[in-house]
Structures are given as C-alpha cells and as structure tokens.
Amino acid sequence: MFLSPVARPCEEVVGVSDGQSSAQAPAAARTPVGRPLLSLALASMMDEVHAHSGAVYLLAQDQPVLEMAVMAGLPRAFAAPWERVGLSAPIPVADAARERRLVWVGGEEEMARRYPRIAMVLPYPFALAAVPVATESTVYGAVFVTWPGGHPQELSDREREHLTAACGRLAVRLERAAEHSIPPHPETDLVASPLVGGMAGTLGTVEAARMVSRLPYGLVSLDLHGRIGFVNAAAAELLNVPVSRLLGTQLWASVPWLNDPVYEDRYRAALMSQHTASFVALRPPGEWLSFRLYPSTTGLSVRITRARAVAEMNRTAPPPDGTPTRLVTITQVLNLASALTEAVGVQDVVQLVADEIAPAVGSQALVLLGSRANRLRVLGHRGYRDAAVVERFDGMPLTEPTPGTQVLRTGVPAFFESQEQLERLYPARGATPDGFAAWAYLPLIAQSRPVGTCVLSYTEPHPFPTEERAVMTSLAGLIAQALERALLYDAKHRLAHGLQEALLPHSLPSLPGIEAAARYVPATQGMDIGGDFYDLVRTQGMAAAVIGDVQGHNVTAAGLMGQVRTAVRAYTAVGQAPEEVMRSTNRLLLDLGADLFASCLYLRLDPAHGRAVMSRAGHPPPLLRRPDGRVRVLDLAGGPLLGIDASAVYPTTEVALAPGSLLVLYTDGLVESPGTDFEEALAGLGRRLADAGDQPLDELADSLVRPEHHRGDGEERLDDIALLLLRAVG
C-alpha cells in the first residue's frame, strides 16, 4: 500500500452509526471510532488504483466553495492555489462536483488544452481523475487522484469502477454523519516520512550509512516536503554547509544560493511525474554543481557532483540575501493571473474574483467599484444576501466620506479588522450595515491611474498582517489590469451593438393578412458588428420582406448593410418588381466599390391572392410550413451574390401562400456551425418547425434561435443570426 495512515489513539474523528450493532450496520456506513474517515478513504482508493497522490474536497456550508480537507502523497503546497475554490471554477474537482461525473485528464497535453490554469502552474507529465462524492440527492464534495506520467492515456474500466465505488461509499458515510449532526473533524495530510529515517536503528541502515559516507559524490535524502533526512559528508562539503545545519531543513532554505524557484520547480517536477529530474547550479563564487533527483512515493534521493562541463554557462546566482522566495506564492499568482486573462467583460472579472481570489484569501463577499462622471459606480458584487445594501452606493458622489470613495480617489489601500475600527474612522458607515465584520479596500490601479476599488468582506473580525496586505495589494494589480481591459471591452461592445440595433428595424409594421416576428442574435465570440439584416415594408395592397447578410464583421460591413437595407426600401417604394429590386441593389453595391459581397432574399407578399413572389441572390433557401404541418425547403431560382457581376439577373419564383402557411427566412448563422453538415442542420430546422410551427410566432422565434439548437453545448456562436417569420392569416 502506498500510504499507511496511522490513527492516534486519542484522536476524535467521524464515527458513523445508525443505531444498529456493528455486526448489523452496512459496511458502507461503518467507520471505527479513532480512525480518520477521509484519510482512510483516500488512502484506500489510491492503493486500489495505484495512484501517486490525491486529495478530498468537501463542499463548504452555505457557500458554493470546495475546501481541501485532506491531501495524500504530496505536500499541500503543490495544490496551494486550489485549497479553496469556487464550485464554478474551471478545474477538474469543481467540474466533477458540479456536473456529478468523473473527469479524466490523461496527460500534460490534455491538461494544457482543457485546464490551462493548472497546466501553467504544474507543467509536468501526470494523469488525473476527479470524482464526485455524492449520493442521489446531495453532493458532499469531490476527490482527485493523480498518477505519474507513465500512466496509460485512458483510464481503465477497473480504475473507473474502483474510484466511483469508493467515492460512493465515502458519500454514504458523510450522509450518515450529517444525519447525526457529526461534522468531519480536521485530519492530518498523509505524507510519507523519509525512507532512511524510518529505518533508523537497524543494522542495515548503519552499514548503508557507512557505505554512503565513503562515496566521492554527494548523496542527500529528501522527504516529500523537501526536508533533508540524510546527507553524507561529500554532499556537505560540496554544498559548503555543515551536516548539522542541513538535517531536518529544506535544501533551498539552508543553502542560500539554491533559494531559486527554478530549482524547487525541478523537485516538484520529479515528485509529480515520478521521473528523474536534474539541474545545474552555481555555487559562489564560481563552482558549478550538478544535481540529479531520483523520485519515489516516499521522497527523493539527490546525487550531487561537480559539473565541469558547464563552466562556460553564464547563469548568475540568485542574490544570497536570505530573502525566501517561495514557489507557492508564485504558483498562486500564476494561477490567478491566468484566470484573469480569460475575463472579457466586467461581469467576467467580478465572477473570477469571486471564484479565484476571494476564496484564496478567505473572503466571503466582494464588491467591485468604479467611477463615472465623478460618481461611484457599483460594477458588480457577490456574496451579499441583500443586494440593496451594496447598490445604494451606486451614484454616490466621490466627495462623500466613505472608505470606497476614499480609496478610489487616493489609490491607498485600507484594511479594517473589525466593525468598530471601520466606524471609528467612518462614523456614517454604521448607518448602512452589510452584515460583515472586517473589510479590505484595495485600489485597482492600471497605467498609474485608479480604475476602481475591490472590496473584500469577512464574516468575522480578521487581522491583516503585513505579508497578507502585501499579497492582496499585488493581487489588486492583476485585477486592475483585467478590469481596465473589461471596461474598454464593454464600452466597445455597447457601441457596436448600439450601432447594430440602430441599423435594424425597431419594430415590424402591422400588415393586413400577415403575422410577423423577427429576431437578431449577435455572435458570442468577439465583439465585432455583424452584417445580418432583415426588414418588412408596407406597399400598396401588399408587403415586401427582405433578409440578407453582408460579408464581414466590422464597421464597414455594418455600414454597407445599412445602405443595402435603405436601398431595398427605396426600390420597393418606387414600385420595382422583385427581380428589379435585386438588380438595382446589385448595381448599387458595385458602384459603392466596397469590395464586399452580400447574400439576399427578397419577396413580395400578396396575402389577398394567397401568393408570394421571391428572388434570391446566393442566400440560403427559405422554409415553408403548410397549414397541414408539412414543411419543405423552397428550391428557388436565383442569381449570384450581390456585388459580384453587374450583368447578373435574378429570376423570380411564385409560391402559393394559403392561410395558415408559415414562411421562415433566416441567415446562415442559424444552420451553420463548425463540424455540422448544412443539409442535416436544415433538416433539423424543418423538424423543429413541423413540431412547433403552430405556436405563437414570438414563442416560435425564441425557440428557433435557442442556443442548443444550432451549436454544441458550451460552444461559442461564431456568426450572427437573423430570423424573420411570416404567417399568412385568413
């Protein structure tokens, strides 16, 4: 067995009982008193699947947050950025708990593709499985286990069954404990001791130590925390540090010139991947040493020799100033920085701060503040039961004496360890209690100017030591950069879609004999303006409808779209026939010299005589749903895209339009998506129209543009959608 956790006789842990005798109680419900429930469950499942490390997460009470309860096989520092994570965070344990499914990541390439935040912090070859700890009714948390990089790319059926069953048994035990109001007690992480230390006192160890001491190269034994359990005389001489100062310490802490995250990263790489790792380091003033690390599940053996072959290397040694550089801090910052780069709009920033930063610093709520026109603006908040408590500050003049306005104006952070401390400096703040007891007000400064304030709130009084204040202030810099980008994006997004909406009809006219409904849905990827358009125009005794798509997603395409729509309206108003409207619009595009093309479908509706005359220019064919519910794709004659050939003609097709008939006009964004066959997508649209075509038009329009119908779950929509529904009524 990889780890053998030993329970202390006096340790009080969860013991589950349902009132039956131990002989009668189900096996899944029995955990002997004095034995740690979570640790034993984790160690057992790791042993069953020969995993190398793992951790159990439990769902926090009253918060959508997963908290690491116990870790095995590796120091907790390896997972420091994810000790406390939001349930919506894009990491495997959160996905497993949220979606109640096993998540498998077969190696470093798959990790980089699916979970780039983890790959950035732990770029090592290892495989990972995350499994929910849940009953049919309740999710209690999740477990992850890892294997070295040599594990097969696929999880075996045996491993999958063992992990799923073990997590199911653990969920039942937690359920029984919850029924008896017995919370899980804190448990010690399961990290193995150094191998040499565990054999102390045996004759073999004495002889081994004598043999190792005679070797001409250095040998050092490290436990999983990097602490030195054994060092021979040659290693002490090479490191130039006495044996007495090395034993029991971490190598990079006792040897100043090894205090570099690059070297510690090699130690982490060896333990995570269980592959041999190596590095060279410069011992001042000019001696290069080679370090080779041989990992096992109990620690590392390190061989140290002189590296004469790298004497020409020009790497400078880290300054031996005694200042510790801890990789755990760097990994946390890397993880948070990676998360914030994914934020697009302001609400994305708010959510990521709530999911990533607030849990990391133990905060239970947050507010992001900004300013506009010398007034405070509440950009977003999370964790407040009463939103009005926060939103009452929106619009407050920046001259008001509040901590939020003060920090925003001055750029100086403020920390309040208790409510009394806050009210002593800001007496008026007591009139607006928010239910919290400590606050950190962090200025968000980008490009040397304040762009906002991040307020982190705590339910209990909270001291802010100097180190924590420094970390929070540094994190505020990352938030500020993300917020500045998000504010700019949102401003451009509002401008783009404001222009888009201005170029489309605000409402459809009421026409005799015709019911109409329309929808425009922008692309979800990027923020460029689309070229899709539609219109419905009243004419003498009839109506004209048009739908089209100008090539491109930019201001030029949108401007040309507006000109095309206006031209179609003008040619319709002077009484041109459908084929003439298309020819005139085609010549207009060529005269404008825009070098852009447009697809278009134009039709003249005559409901009094039950007919429609259509002309098409490279546009997807419309669908017609007959009164009996049958749907067919209209195979219309047509010409090329508008703006290509000045001599092009656009023949017309007459279609019968009996009362109850429904015409569906759309742009290609409704039926085209990567990896989807156009014919299959069109057939699927026809089936949905046949099933739901009798609905009121507004409900039908909403149904047809619903995301799950035209893109995969979780995919972004790459193109705009315009939809126009026309129903003939008697």
pLDDT in tens, 151-160: 898 999 999 9
Tracing tokens 């699916």 back to the chain, one arrives at: 114
Structure tokens at 217: 């190269």
pLDDT at 203: 42
Are 531 and 662 members of one domain? Answer: yes
- The sheet carrying 277-283 orders its strands as 228-231, 218-222, 299-306, 287-296, 277-283
Note the pLDDT of residue 696. Answer: 92
Confidence (pLDDT) at 204: 52
Structure token digits, residue 625: 């749903």
- 610 domain-assigned: yes
Q: Which of 216-230, 326-340, 443-457, 697-711 is the least confident region? A: 326-340
Rg (CA), the chain: 34
CA quadruple 482, 488, 494, 500: dihedral, nearest 10: -110
Q: 203: helix, coil or strand?
A: helix
Candidate from 108-117, 199-208, 449-458, 576-585 with smallest mean pLDDT: 199-208
- Verify that 443 and 513 share a domain, yes or no: no
Average pLDDT rounded to a whole number, residues 432-439? 84
Q: Which of 158, 139, 149 is nearest to 53 (CA)?
A: 149
Residue 291, SS3 per DSSP:
strand
Task: List Cα–Cα distances, 358 to 196, 352, 396, in angstroms.
Answer: 41, 9, 25
Q: How many angstroms separate the CA atoms of 103 and 106, rounded?
A: 10
Task: Please confirm whether the linkage preceding 285 is cis (ω < 30° from 0).
Answer: yes
The residue written with tokens 């109640």 in the block is 100
Between CA 559 and CA 576 the distance in angstroms is 24
Residues 624 and 700 in one domain: yes
pLDDT of residue 21: 34
Question: Is-contact 476 413, C-beta < 8 A?
Answer: yes
Q: What is the pLDDT of residues 145-184, one digit of tens each?
A: 999 888 898 999 999 999 999 999 999 999 998 888 888 7
- The percent of residues above 70 in pLDDT, for the chain, comes to 82
End-to-end CA distance of the chain: 79
Alpha-carbon distance of 217 to 688, in angstroms, equals 76
Please state, for a pLDDT cut of 90, what percent of the chain lies above it: 29
User: Which has more pLDDT, 263 or 620?
Assistant: 620
Is 140 among the domain residues? yes
Look at residue 193 and tell me if it is in a domain: no
pLDDT at residue 484 in the model: 86
The phi, psi pair for 8, rounded to 5°, reads: -75, 140
The CATH number of whichever domain residue 224 belongs to comes to: 3.30.450.20
Could you tell me the maximum CA-CA distance found in the chain, to the nearest angstrom? 109
Number of domains in the chain: 4
- Domain containing 174 equals 37-180
Q: For residue 525, what pLDDT is reported?
A: 52
Residue type, 62: D
In a domain, 12, yes or no: no
pLDDT of residue 100: 94
Give whole-number Cα distances, 159 to 48, 129, 166, 257, 505, in Å: 8, 10, 11, 43, 59
Query: What's the mean pLDDT in 506-533?
Result: 78
* Claim to verify: residue 456 and residue 508 sit in the same structural domain: no
| Cα–Cα nearest to 119, from 339, 325, 359 | 339
The tokens describing 113, both together, are 């593709």
Would the pLDDT of 662 be above 90? yes
Contact criterion met (CB below 8 Å) for 111 and 363 = no
Q: Are 400 and 409 in contact (CB under 8 A)?
A: no
Question: Are 677 and 570 within one domain?
Answer: yes
Residue 638's DSSP bridge partners are: 616
pLDDT in tens, 292-327: 899 888 888 999 988 765 444 444 444 444 443 343
298 and 395 inside one domain:
no
- Model confidence at 12, in pLDDT bands (50, 70, 90)? very low
Give the pLDDT band of residue 693 (cuts 50, 70, 90). confident
Main-chain phi, psi angles of 531, to 5 degrees = -110, 10
pLDDT of the residue at 321? 43
The pLDDT value recorded for residue 165 is 94
Tell me what the pLDDT averaged over the chain comes to: 81
Judge whether 314 lies within some domain: no
Distance CA 654, CA 463 (A): 79
Q: Is 330 helix (H, G, I), strand (E, B) or coil?
A: helix
Q: pLDDT-based confidence at 530, cuts 50/70/90?
A: low
For residues 348 and 448, membership in a common domain is answered with yes
CATH of the domain at 610: 3.60.40.10
Model confidence at 685: pLDDT above 50: yes
pLDDT over 50 (residue 14): no
State whether 170 and 227 are in the same domain.
no
Domain presence at residue 695: yes
Q: Provide DSSP, 685-729.
A: HHHHHHHHTTS-HHHHHHHHT-GGGTS-TTPPP-S-EEEEEEEE-
What is the pLDDT, as a whole number, of residue 89?
86
Q: What is the C-alpha to C-alpha distance for residues 332 and 342, in angstroms, rounded to an integer? A: 16
Is residue 577 domain-shared with residue 477, that is, in the same domain?
no
Q: How far apart are CA 514 and CA 149, in angstroms?
A: 66
Confidence at residue 288, expressed as pLDDT on a 0 to 100 scale: 86
CATH number at residue 148: 3.30.450.40
Q: Last residue of a domain, which of 495, 524, 555? A: 495
Q: Which two tokens stand for residue 671?
A: 């039926």
Mean pLDDT, rounded, for 682-694: 88
517 against 76, higher pLDDT: 517
CB 273 within 8 A of CB 296: no
Residues 252 and 260 sit within 8 Å (Cβ to Cβ): yes
pLDDT tens digits for range 342-385: 677 888 888 888 887 888 788 999 999 998 888 999 999 998 88
Gap between the Cα atoms of 31 and 359, Å rounded: 31
Long-range contacts of 185-188, Cβ-Cβ distance < 8 Å, separation of 24 or more: 185/11, 185/12, 185/13, 185/14, 185/36, 186/69, 187/13, 187/36, 187/37, 187/38, 187/39, 187/69, 187/70, 188/36, 188/39, 188/70
Is residue 432 a part of any domain in this protein? yes
Q: Which residues contact 552 (CB under 8 A, 6 or more apart)?
A: 531, 596
The pLDDT assigned to 251 comes to 84
Predicted local confidence at residue 637, as pLDDT: 83
Task: Judge whether 529 lies within some domain.
Answer: yes
Alpha-carbon span 711 to 713, nearest angstrom? 7
pLDDT at position 61 is 82
Cβ partners under 8 Å of residue 269, min gap 6: 124, 275, 277
pLDDT higher than 50, residue 527: no
The answer to which of 198-207, 247-256, 628-637 has the lowest mean pLDDT is 198-207
Same domain? For 572 and 645 the reply is yes
Residue 142 pLDDT grade (very low, low, confident, very high; cuts 50, 70, 90): very high
Closest CA to 2 of 70, 54, 37: 54
Spell out the residues 6+ positions from residue 109 whose beta carbon is closer than 8 angstroms to its own.
none
> Across-strand partners of 283?
287
Domain boundary residue, one of 306, 324, 348: 306
Query: What's the pLDDT tens digit per position in 545-555?
Result: 999 988 776 66
* pLDDT top residue among 410 and 31: 410
User: What is the DSSP annotation of 665-685?
Assistant: EE-GGGT--TT--HHHHHHHH
pTM (predicted TM-score): 0.47
Tokens of 133: 């700890």
- Listed in sequence order, the residues at least 6 apart from 360 whose beta carbon sits closer than 8 Å to its beta carbon are 81, 83, 84, 332, 336
Which DSSP symbol is given to 253? H
Whether residue 490 sits in one domain with residue 354: yes
Query: Are 378 and 514 part of one and the same domain?
Result: no
Instruction: Evaluate the CA torsion angle 247, 52, 338, 404 in order and state its sign.
Output: negative
Listing from the earlier edge strand, what are the strands of the sheet with 375-382?
375-382, 365-372, 449-458, 438-446, 414-416
Residue 22: the pLDDT is 34
Q: Which of 461, 495, 529 is the last residue of a domain?
A: 495
Q: Strands, E, within 383-508: which ranges?
A: 414-416, 438-446, 449-458
